[in-house]
Structure 1
Amino acid sequence: MSEPATRPVAPSQDPKGVILGASAYACWGLFPAFFGLLAFAAPVEILAHRIVWTMLLMLVVVLLLGQGRALLRMGARNWALVAAASLFISINWGMYIYGVVSGRVVETALGYFINPLVSVLIGVIIFRERLSRAQTVALGLGALAVIVLTLDYGYPPYIALSLAFSFALYGVTKKLIPIDPRQSVAGETLVAAPLALIVLGWLALHGQGSFLDGGAPHVLLLIAAGPVTAIPLLLFAGAAQRVPLVTMGLLQYLTPSLQMAWGVIVLREDMPASRWLGFAIIWLALAILTTDLVRRYRGRRARRMRSVSAPA
């Protein structure tokens, strides 16, 4: 009998990768604690500073990694995709900042709970993917939850929906960019930086900027928006290379869970029974979606293992 074929096996669970991934999602989950400190500035000014300081830090990272030339030589198609990603992530960052500064942290958490459902929906619309029965049920429950929360709020949860759709579209665009994610983030902020600098210049010219108004504390907090943004991105990049996507998919729920806990426990945002009902429906939808994801992953892994051990 011939020796077993040496086909590639799915990556095993790397403890370091899990720690990196959990750390990234925990950082994102604690963002309300940081961005709440920036309430002295307008959301548009915070966004502009976030873009500029993240760009500077990511350019340093790219140069230290020796990827500067690769960034400049990405080609027109890649730059167009990077520009699209820049648009989606700028919308996402801006809406998130607005949600936190306006005291609607729970609604921002809702956006990231909805995000996996929106990603499935976009897969159907853009990539013509076929829905499984579990995915169909999950999407139906997600739509029902949005209706319940719309009745509760008195208006559609536009912050949550904007966050979910912008991040899902950002994720789709990132899948189409065949470059190192650190180069991509550097490029995304580089594309957005000219407009961000114009905004900061206009605010300073009209005496509406707050960068220097509060002295060193304001300066340091706004500059810190750069590393606070970049560090979890770098942690995420390291995790994505070490653990299966299904693990990252499970870890992602850590972010909205922490954000919601901050909004409910620390900020004591109003949570009537009807709002809890809307969230409960979302959680049920996510439980169904996640169970289906894990089942499919285990099935694919079992088939790969059987093919590896089969005679060549």
Structure 2
Amino acid sequence: MNDHPTPAQSAIRLGLITGVIAYFIWGIFPIYIKSVGAVSAMEIMAHRILWSIPFGALILTFRRQWPEVLGALGDKRVLFMLALAAISIAANWYIYVLAVLDGRVLEASLGYYINPLMYVAAGVFILGETLRKAQIVAVALASAGVLTLTFGAGIFPLTSILLAVLFTAYGYIRKTTNVGAMPGLFIEVCLLSPIALIYLIWLIKAGNAVFLSGDFGMDVLLVLAGPVTVIPLVCFALAARRLRLSTLGFLQYIGPTLQFALGIYFGEKFTLYHAICFGLIWTALAIFSVDAARAGKTIRPVTRAV
């Protein structure tokens, strides 16, 4: 008997490992943001963008993907779509970082729980798709959850909605643009880099930057903004090529679940209305996931962008 795994089994195993790593890093990302809590959201954003470039370049070199980058740069349509994607992801990143710094990790996690259902809404309003009965029930339950939080606790989860909408827009753009995950992200951060660089230089000259202010440990943490942005993306890309999309669809809940747990750990306010809201959305996701599996379709996981 041969106990060695087949190449297919090894590929699936690697896909599961890298997929879990990607979603785990995204899930505990609030810990990193809290560790640089003395830094403004805009400065954190600038470092995420700028330090993703050299680290991303190393990954592209290792994976020999420079031809794909050059090909995308030579295609005006692809470049235009990536510019739109860059705007969407930059806004998503900023809102997420700001939410964590403001102590609203629970609200941020709610946005990523809502995200799969936002794809359904996009399919209806943009692609003219027809909802199945289970999908209608799932959307209704999620809407009831949001309304409960809005009218019960008096908190309209604007951050959650914006994160879900922006990430759905980003996912839709990337899904319809013929470029790989890492080459696409590299071009996106390059497009954003002039603004980030100008802002950081201005901040340093004005004496308002935390970076290079004498705290070497903080400088290291800010430089690490590049790797913690790029590494989970690479792991996701490896997983996406080896796993069924339905498997990735279920794995994607690792991220917001860890964020939810961290929000509780950080002592954020969690009322009865929050419990009802999350309970309704979890029920909606369960119905949605089972329906997707039965229909032979999938929750559409795309590159997370927190």
Who is 1:92 aligned against?
92
The structural deviation recorded for 1:153 is 4.5
SS in structure 1 of the partner of residue 68 of structure 2: helix
Which is worse superposed, 140-149 or 231-240?
Answer: 140-149
Who is 1:297 aligned against?
296
Who is 1:57 aligned against?
55
Who is 2:3 aligned against?
none
* TM superposition score normalised by structure 1: 0.88
The structural deviation recorded for 1:60 is 2.2
The structural deviation recorded for 1:151 is 2.3
Aligned positions of 1:225-304 closer than 5 A: 225-264=225-264, 266-297=265-296
- Greater than 6 Å deviation, 4+ residue runs: none
Which is worse superposed, 49-58 or 62-71?
Answer: 62-71
Which is worse superposed, 38-47 or 203-212?
Answer: 203-212
> 1:148 and 1:94 mapped to 2: Cα distance?
27
> 1:226 and 1:26 mapped to 2: Cα distance?
17
One-letter amino acid matched to 1:70: E
Structure 1 residue runs without a partner (length 5+):
1-10, 300-312
> 1:230 and 1:283 mapped to 2: Cα distance?
29
> 1:17 and 1:263 mapped to 2: Cα distance?
28
SS in structure 2 of the partner of residue 130 of structure 1: coil
Larger radius of gyration: 1
Question: Does structure 2 retain, via aligned residues, the 8 Å contact 1:38–1:101?
Answer: no
Who is 2:104 aligned against?
104
CA RMSD across the alignment:
1.7
> 1:32 and 1:113 mapped to 2: Cα distance?
16
> 2:297 and 2:95 mapped to 1: Cα distance?
36
- Encode CA deviations 1:84-138: one digit per residue, 9 max, x unaligned: 1111111111111011111111111111111111111011111111111111111
Question: Does structure 1 retain, via aligned residues, the 8 Å contact 2:60–2:182?
Answer: yes
Identical pairs, percent: 37
**Structure 2 CA distance for partners of 1:214 and 1:32, relative to 1, 3 Å:** farther
Aligned positions of 1:91-240 closer than 5 A: 91-240=91-240
Question: Does structure 2 retain, via aligned residues, the 8 Å contact 1:111–1:163?
Answer: yes
> 2:153 and 2:46 mapped to 1: Cα distance?
30
- Encode CA deviations 1:278-297: one digit per residue, 9 max, x unaligned: 11111111111011011112
SS in structure 1 of the partner of residue 285 of structure 2: helix
One-letter amino acid matched to 1:180: G
> 2:153 and 2:90 mapped to 1: Cα distance?
26
> 2:153 and 2:210 mapped to 1: Cα distance?
32
> 1:18 and 1:40 mapped to 2: Cα distance?
36
One-letter amino acid matched to 2:52: T
Who is 1:27 aligned against?
25
- Encode CA deviations 1:188-231: one digit per residue, 9 max, x unaligned: 11111111112112212222111022521111011011101111
**Structure 2 CA distance for partners of 1:204 and 1:130, relative to 1, 3 Å:** same
> 1:21 and 1:260 mapped to 2: Cα distance?
19
> 2:116 and 2:233 mapped to 1: Cα distance?
19
One-letter amino acid matched to 1:159: T
